[in-house]
A and B are shown apart, each in its own frame.
Chain A
Amino acid sequence: MDLATFLIQCLNALQYGLLLFLVASGLTLIFGIMGVINLAHGSFYMIGAYMAYALAPIVGATFGGGFFATLLVGLVLSVLLGYVLEWAFFSFLYDREHLQQVLMTYGLILVFEELRSLLVGDEVHGVAPPEVLSGALPLGGLMTYPVYRLFISGVCLVVAIGMYLVFTRTRLGMMIRAGSTNREMVQSLGIDIRFLYRVVFAGGVALAVLAGMIAAPVSSVYPGMGNTVLIVCFVVAVIGGIGSIRGALLAAVLVGAVDTFGNVLLPQAAGVLIYVLMALILLWKPQGLFRAG
């Protein structure tokens, strides 16, 4: 492997890892704060990718189009979706056992997949990246690197920094952190914890949808894409420590690197490597790298 190839694989690993972080942070956030294991989280990623495909012509017809307009419309829809779902399905799961949450959200996966099949069909679709970002940067003598992948990494980094600032520097972030530690206490201080949960859930959904939308031009859009991501995100959440955003970031980049380089160096065992990584880390630290505070 020469230097240019190595560099390209590094960038790919970083891009994949950061994208995973976007999905996994929502998963770990919803678990850490609301205590709900959300299997349907992968479906939101799938919904995002299909939105990027299906909304583009509609947005094009009404607002004059453009990738970024589609992104914006998708995000607004996803927040609404998250808000309604929390109200309809998740709000009565908080006091239930994990088992029932798993079951309910599994039912939601089946429903989402079939609704997707009914509305858009079962074909595989490609999504074109926006023209501004469709170029490629020269790298070394012969290699190039697509600008769009850099754009994905950039968006993910901005979101990660944004999340960090919201959680540590704003009143909302403070309330959310307090709510995850002691629900009753926060409630008795006069903060509407149900509204807070709804906001967190909508935020988590929006993160997964955003990830799906920006990933669509790279990964294409296909049925069942959410399930693959979901399981990898579980691995990320477990390695990072469930509930820890910092842990999710580190673990996502780690998993991205192991998976990308595994595909290059050890293609026969690539699918297994991240699980081996998880097993090793659990042997060392059963609670994950960062324990949620």
Chain B
Amino acid sequence: MDRSGALFAVLAFLALAAVPAVAGSFGVDLVTKIMIYAIFALSLELLAGSTGLVCFGQAAFFGIGAYATVLLSPQHGPPSLVWMLPASVLCAAAYALIVGALSLRTKGAYFIMVTLAFAQMAYYVVHDTPLGGGTDGIYLATKPVLGPWLDLNKPLAFLGFTLGCQAAVFVFLALLLRSRFGRALAGIRVNEQRMRASGFSTYPYKLAAFVISGAIAGLAGFLFAVKDGFVTPELLSWHLSAAVLVMVILGGLGHLRGALIGAFAFALLQEFFQSEAIFGAFARHWHLGLGLTVIACVALLPHGLVQVPGQLRERLLGRAQRSATEMRNEPL
């Protein structure tokens, strides 16, 4: 990550930490939700942006993390965060291992469709079998706690915990991408054939990235289940898989901060189009505005919001900057 990226990240996290001071309970709830989406988007960024694997079934891992949280938590007495969190994450990672092992045998468009189909499979398992409680979903009996220090029932404590998770995931991914492993993933994205020719067995690398990504999505799912207190099959639906892809691309593929920007931009757009104060009765048809915005983004911002300052600077300062900007940004 370059210096402007690091600066952006530090400023963004400081701003998020200041949210409780300025926002009401609605604002705290919204920001918490968006930060969970941001963690979810970061998980996909590792696959789609850094490794070049377009996974169209990311919601399955998110949903499995959420369902595992609810199904594993005991009926009486709050469970401890110490084992709840790893257990949910492990469930998601285990499913990612199975899906990854199978779907990484395919490439390109096949990979997109196969990951989608596996996510649908998980969706039907929770939707149709007694295990998942059907269409209505299930309630979480009690929210996990960490001894006397952290009670996730309190919105502010939960906001802080989510912010901590988001920061941890961000730093973890930033370090991971700078490591030898991360460079190998970048190599696979740019030219897998050449990576193989230079002696890398690419399949284990891709599988490892897939499992890590699934685990992070599971973490986001865990947080989501704890935040809302119930889960529904919609958490595994392909609409969520598509939404998180939109977030990552909207923000800017290939940049970790793009996932954060994208998650915020997408969630705020959604709030905007759903707002009855602005659109009145038409707010019911908010998908229309969202769909048109998505189309406009593909047409006008192929490199995402991350590139907007660069594009503006280029407009203002002329072509002299262009070569410098292009050299800094690696090709997608």
Contacts and interface: CB of A to CB of B under 8 A. Distances in A.
B97 interface: no
A283 interface: yes
Given A102-B112, A268-B128, A231 B242 contact: no
Contacts of B105: 282-283, 286
B292 A111 contact: yes
B110 interface: yes
Interface stretch (B18-26, B81-89, B245-253, B311-319): B245-253
- For B117, B125, B127, the residue with the greatest tally of chain A CB atoms inside 10 Å of its CB is B117
Nearest to B99: A279
Interface in B37-62: 48, 54, 56
A181 interface: no
Nearest to A96: B302
Interface string A264-293: 000011111001101100110011100000
Nearest to B113: A234
B31 interface: no
A143 interface: no
Interface residues on A, range: 35 or more
B142 interface: no
Contacts of A278: 114, 117
B288 interface: yes
A151 interface: no
Contacts of A271: 124-125, 127-128
B112 A103 contact: no
Interface stretch (A62-70, A114-122, A124-132): A114-122
A272 B299 CA distance: 36
Interface in A89-133: 89, 92, 96-100, 102-104, 106-111, 113-115, 117-118
Contacts of A276: 121
Given A242-B110, A271-B124, A271-B127, A110 B294 contact: yes
Interface residues of B, number: 43
B113 A104 contact: no
A99 B245 contact: yes
Chain A binding surface SS class: helix
B285 A114 contact: yes
A235 to B, nearest CB: 5
A231 B246 contact: no
A288 B108 CA distance: 14
Contacts of A106: 242, 245-246, 291, 294
A272 B117 CA distance: 10
Contacts of B245: 99, 102-103, 106
A286 B106 contact: yes
Interface of B: 48, 54, 56, 102-103, 105-106, 108-110, 112-114, 116-118, 120-121, 124-125, 127-129, 238, 242, 245-246, 249, 253, 285, 287-288, 290-295, 297-299, 302, 332
22 contacts: A37-B109, A98-B109, A99-B245, A103-B245, A103-B249, A103-B297, A106-B242, A107-B292, A109-B291, A110-B287, A110-B288, A113-B287, A235-B117, A268-B128, A270-B128, A272-B121, A275-B117, A279-B118, A282-B102, A286-B106, A287-B106, A288-B110
